[in-house]
Structure formats: C-alpha cells, structure tokens
Structure 1
Amino acid sequence: MTEQPKFQRRKRRGAVAVVEQPQRIAEQPVDHTLEELEALIAEKEALLQRKAELEAKRLREAEREAERARAAKAAEEQARQAKAARDAELEAKRQARQAELEAQKKRDAEQAKLAQIERAAKPKTPLVLARPPEPKPTPAPVFDPEASWKAIDRFQLDPQRLAERNVITALRQDPSHTRFDILRTRMLQALSENGWKRVAITSPTKDCGKTFTAANLAISLSRQENCRTVLLDLDMRSPSLHKIFGVSDTGAIGDMLRGDISPEAHLQGFAPNSIAAGSHVAIGFNGIVEPYAAELLQDPSTRAVLDEIERQFKPNVMLFDLPPALLNDDVIAMRPHIDALLIVAAGGMTKANDIKETERRLGDGIPLLGVVLNKAEHVESSDYPY
C-alpha cells in the first residue's frame, strides 16, 4: 500500500469519527420500560381530560354570566318601563288636578261675580223684621189606609146563599137590583155634596127590611170604584147581618166599641169572589146580644172607636144598621155619631105616622136622605125605591 500523506490520513480519520458517532448513539440501550410509557400516556390523557373539563366549566360559567347579564338587563328594562308608567300616571293626575283647580277657580270667580251683583242689587238699608220667623211645623207622617185594609180578615161569599137571603145585588138577576144601584149613586152624591160619611139605616118598626137594605147597599157600593165602605151591625139587641152573609166567626162588636179589640182585628172583608164584589168593604158583624146597647152607644169609647175607624180606613161611607127607631132608644143614643138618616118602610105595614114619629124622635138636626119603600107590590119600573 502506497503511503498517504499525513494530512490526508488525519482527515480521513476525522470523517470516520463523524460517521461512527451517530451509530454509537443509536446503539445505546433504551432506559424506559413499556409500563412507564403507558403511565406517561395515561397521565397525558388525564391532563387532556382535566383540560377539557376546565374548558367546559369555563364555558358554563361564561354562559351563566351571560344569562345573569341578560336577566339584569331585562329587569332594568322592566323597572324603566314601570317608572315610565308611574311618571305618566303622576303626570296625568297632575294635569287632572290642575284642570280641576282651574275649573274651581273659574267657578269661584263666577260665584264672586254673582255675589257682587246680588250685593249691588240689595238695598243698602237692612231689612228689619218685626218678629223672628216662626219655625215651620214638621209635616205629619203620611198614613196609608191600604195597610189597614190588607190587615183585616176575609170571608168567602156564597152567591147561592146570598140569593136565598134576597141579596139581589149579588147575582143581579132580579131587575130590582138596579134600584139599589140608583139608591147608591144618589146617596154618594148627597154625601159628597154635604161632606157627610156616616149614614144610619133604621126603620120605624121591626121586619121592614133595614138589614136587607144595608146588605144590598154594601154589595152595590163594593162595585163603585174608589169607594171604601164600612158597615157595622149595631142592632145589638137582635143581630142578624152575619146570617145573611153566612159568617159564623163574628165576635162581639161590643168588645170593639169598648176598645177591647182593635177595629182591624174585628172587621172582615170580602174574599176574591165570582160576583165582582170589591175588596174595599169592611163589615163589623155581631154574634152576641148586648143587653145595654143604648148605654154602650152613648159611651165615649164608642165615639173614639168610630173616629179610629175613620182614621185608619179612610172610608167614604160608613153605614150603621140600627134597630127599629120606635122600639127602644138605641137610635136616639146613636144620634151624635151620624150625619144622615135612611129610613126603610115596609109596604102595607109601615104607617105614615110611624115615619113622622121616627123623624120627630131624631129631631131636625139629622138630615133625612130618603125613605126606602120595601116589600111594595105593583111598583112601576120607573119608580124609585125612595
């Protein structure tokens, strides 16, 4: 082998050294085992998972923060709107109050102007009264008589019984019923013209038909519109009005006249019926004989009760069925309580002297409405019953 120069040998050795060094490094043994690598990988994965969890937590926190921000903004907007509404309401109230004050100011100005005009129109000299004005009386309370009419008891009318008892105004089948209608109308006119209310019905002697006349008049008057009628059976020595109307629960009219029972508790009226008898008829029946009838009629309690009936019921007509005038002094005792007299005479029984004697006993102070001729035969249809 040809010997090479020294510097070339040195250069070659350096190249070999450079080439051989990586080989030696690659050939060095690995210090880490497989278990260590797996542990490192697991640790890395745990770190990555932890990082992901932290990132998710951060995102959730960011979302909650954004939600709180939105809620705060919404609450702020709601508060702003509420404040704006309150401000608008206060402004409306302020404007309304301002308008009211201006209107009141205008009214005050007008009143002041009117007061100034009145003061200018009044005389400067004050008015001197001779005496202080009297206080106005307090008006009395208005009394409604309908309450009393509604309070009385009612009884049923039996048309057949009334017909059997000769109450011809009930069924109106007998042509003579028109005579009672004429009597009713003339009597009402006479009472109205003279301001009378109380009419005594009597006869000179018994069996002349005075109770028959009173019952027929009551039925006829009940059909007169706006006419309130009170009929009292004051023939207390021989009461019979309840027999005509078929009423058994009569009570004693003497108890009413003494003031033991009130008029509205004793009086009775017609119940709704088929004969068109009105509801404004109040009848005071009597079922007990009164031995001291004249004394009771003269007692002050009788006057008080009759006045109370007028006050409570405001009747237009008060009919008193009295006993025969020539048999006792009951009619004379009743004289201070009546306004007018109606005498019932029986055809063929009553004499002219009886009628004159009846008028004489009652005196000139009691007006005679007329004489009703009952039980008369062959009377022309154009004749009146009195």
Structure 2
Amino acid sequence: MQLHIHRNPKSHISEAYRLLRTNIEFSNIDKNLKTILITSSGQNEGKSTAISNIAASFASLENKKVLLIDCDLRNPTVHKMFGVSNINGITDVLTGQKDVEKCIENTKVSNLDILKVGKIPPNPSEMLQSKRMKSFMEAIKPHYDYIFIDAPPVGIVTDASILAQYVDGTILLVAANEADIEATKIAKERLESVNANILGAVLNKFEADEKSYGYYNYYYGSSSEKRKPKRGLFGRK
C-alpha cells in the first residue's frame, strides 16, 4: 500500500496512474466530471491505493485543488495511506460534532486534502443515505476542482450504490486473478440499477514480465528495477 505518485513519480506504476488520469479527463468531454467514486466487487482488490494515487495524480495538475474522501465507513483505509490518525472525519461532520473545516486535512502532496472517516458508525448505510450527506456533497463541491471518493465494495454492501447516485462518475476496480467473474457482473449490475455513470473498469494486480513494459522499463526504471520482476499496475489496498 503505497502512494507511488508521491514517493516514486518516475516509476512505471506512477506513469500508469497518469495514463489513467488522462483517460478520465477524456471522459470529461460531454459531462463535467468533478466528483468521482471508486468501488470494487469484493474486499482487498486495491481500490484505496488506486483512488489515493489517482487523486494525487490530479493534484499534480497546475492550479487544481483536490479532495479525497474516505466513505468506507466500515473499513477506513485512506488515513493509513497518508500516515495519519483516523480522528475526526466525515462521520463527525454528518453528526454535527465537528465543522468540516476542522476535519479536512492537508497532506504531504501539494493541493491534495483528505477527509477521513472519523468515528465508525453503527449505521453506515443510513448515514450515507441521509439528507445531511446529500447536502454535504453539494456544499463541498464549489471548494475543489476534483473530489474523489473511496467507497466500500459494491458487491458486499449497498453503500457504494448509494454514493454512486451523488457523483458524476464511477470507476469499478477489478483485481486480476482474484475477483470472481460473477461477483464482478453483479457489481456492475448494481451500479447500473441506480443509474450510475460508469466511466470504466480498472484491472488491478496484473502480473506482467519485463517485456510487457517495453519503453517504460527503459525510460522510467532504474537499473535495479529492470532486474526485478514487476508487480501489477496498481498496489494492494
């Protein structure tokens, strides 16, 4: 679980995230994609690592302000990506215990803020479906150029289906050789049932040998990197 874009911006993994950023930008032609959600069919497919790196990639664009919200109220992970505690987050905002300004946190990545989960609630689905959540999403939009949301697996709980109705676009992450085909189909169907704007799917944890990386091995990899077998394009959650 690494923030590759920040730690190793010239790696083949970081380049893959920048390519994904470009693909998302091209999806922006007919509709303004400002709020983007990522989910998966099952657990541990790598969505938190992916969304954190995608958000960091967008934050590297000139004059773009980005917010990453952890909406996995059952299993928060974003705070671990950035090495901070999970104290004070979106649940504290929604319950009226904290102002959002006191919960949003700057990160080591320029122009990238995060909003953690905070206290884990006993009723995640109800909280995400509340009027306060809808009002919060509308209120936060004017303050950022892009808002990315880490959602729970849509194949396990209803949370992602709820959140998909609040955003401009949804990405379905699929772990190679791990995700169940039928579960992935069901995940897609659940998103379609709420009229989610599915931007596409990201294949994660894909194993590839040296030859598969071609040009990027030569240009971005160090001599030590070239001798090592490469992991997938995106890391684990």
Q: Structure 1 residue aligned with 2:204, among 374, 379, 385?
A: 374
The answer to whether the aligner puts 1:309 opposite 2:133 as a matched pair is no
**Greater relative contact order (Cα 8 A, min sep 6): structure 1 or 2?**
2
Correspondence for 1:355 among 178, 184, 203: 184
The residue number in structure 2 matching 1:167 is 3
C-alpha RMSD over aligned residues:
2.3
C-alpha displacement at 1:249, in angstroms? 5.6
Q: Is the 8 A contact 1:297 1:334 kept in 2?
A: yes
CA 1:202–1:329: 2 relative to 1, 3 Å: same
In structure 2, the CA distance between the partners of 1:249 and 1:346, relative to structure 1 (3 Å rule), is closer
Amino acid at match of 2:73: M
Gaps of 5+ in 1: 1-164, 272-276
**Partners of 1:238 and 1:327 in 2: how far apart?**
12
Structure 2 counterpart of 1:302, one-letter code: M
Tell me which residue corresponds to 2:107. 270
Q: Distance in 1 between matches of 2:145 and 2:95?
A: 24
Q: Is 1:227 the counterpart of 2:58 in the alignment?
A: no
Correspondence for 2:117? 286
Q: How many residues align?
A: 214
Aligned-residue offset at 1:310? 1.3
Alignment of 1:81-100 (within 5 A): none
Quick one: distance in 2 between partners of 1:188 and 1:263? 28
Describe the SS at the equivalent of 2:132. helix
Between Structure 1 and Structure 2, which shows a larger proportion of strand residues? 2
Are the aligned partners of 2:17 and 2:53 in contact in 1 as well (CA < 8 Å)?
yes
Higher gyration radius (CA): 1
1:331 and 2:160 correspond = yes
Distance 1:270 1:166, change over 3 A: closer
Tell me, in whole angstroms, the C-alpha distance in 2 between the residues paired with 1:253 and 1:176: 30
In the aligned structure 1, how far is the partner of 2:190 from the partner of 2:22? 28
Please tell me whether the aligned partners of residues 266 and 284 of structure 1 are also in contact (alpha carbons under 8 angstroms): yes
Indicate how the Cα distance of structure 1 residues 245 and 319 shifts in structure 2: closer, same or farther if over 3 A, else same: same
Quote the residue 1:261 is aligned against: 98
1:273-323, Cα deviation, whole Å (9 max, x unpaired): xxxx32x22210124322211100110001111111113x1x222111001
Q: For 1:196 and 1:248, how far apart are their aligned partners in 2?
A: 30
Look up the equivalent residue of 1:185 and give its one-letter code. T
* Shift >3 Å, 4+ stretches: none
**DSSP 3-state at the match of 2:42:** coil
Instruction: List gaps (5 residues or longer) in structure 2.
Output: 217-232
- TM-score calculated relative to the size of structure 2: 0.82
TM-score normalized with structure 1 length = 0.52
The letter for the 2-side match of 1:326 is: G
Q: CA 1:256–1:287 in structure 2 vs 1: closer, same or farther (change >3 Å)?
A: closer
- Residue aligned with 2:170, SS: strand
Tell me if structure 2 keeps the 8 A contact 1:230–1:281.
Answer: yes
Letter in 2 for 1:349: E
Distance 1:249 1:356, change over 3 A: closer
Q: Is the 8 A contact 1:242 1:250 kept in 2?
A: no
Tell me, in whole angstroms, the C-alpha distance in 2 between the residues paired with 1:289 and 1:243: 15
Deviation string, structure 1 residues 236-283 (Cα, Å, up to 9, x no partner): 101011111110263132111234322222111125xxxxx32x2221
2:128–2:163 CA contact under 8 A, matched in 1: yes
Distance in structure 2 (CA, Å) of the matches to 1:257 and 1:288: 11
Q: Give 1:200's aligned residue.
A: 37
Q: For the residues of structure 2 that align with 1:371 and 1:259, how far apart are their CA atoms?
A: 36
Q: How far 1:173 moved relative to its partner? A: 4.8
- Residue 226 (structure 1) shift: 2.1
Is the 8 Å Cα contact of residues 239 and 288 (structure 1) preserved in structure 2? no
SS at match of 1:220: helix
Which of 97, 116, 131 is 1:300 aligned to? 131
